[in-house]
Amino acid sequence: MQKNTGLKRIVKAFGYSIDGLKTAIHSEAAFRQELALFFIGVPLAFWLDVTTIERILMIASLFLVLITELINTSLEYVIERISNDWHEASKKVKDLGSAAVLLSLFNASMVWGMILFQL
């Protein structure tokens, strides 16, 4: 099997990434909710009277939520691919992924709160 290289590899990788985003949007309610938060938060960050660095931190914290949700969703798909049977290790992986999303949401809340309320 011949591997794609150069520009062809980049184009194919971009397509795979778009497929992944489509999968998350169509199959994950949590991702859709976090995406809505992102699409509200980004324009709000530009509308607010904050410094450039504060704006970058606000937007980056929202990107981190989306990224973490995508990784959590990937972990869940892998666990389900391996087996639908309940297993303690599978539960731990899913719980850890969920905890990562929760921490990213706490992070975004903290960043936005500290900037907005100048804490």
Q: Which residues are catalytic?
A: 69
Nearest to 27 by CA among 81, 92, 83, 76: 76
Closest CA to 101 of 69, 60, 74: 69
Instruction: Give how far the C-alpha of residue 54 lies from the chain's centroid of Cα atoms, to the nearest Å.
Output: 20
Report the alpha-carbon distance of residue 40 to residue 110 in Å, rounded: 17
Please give the DSSP secondary-structure letter assigned to residue 50: -
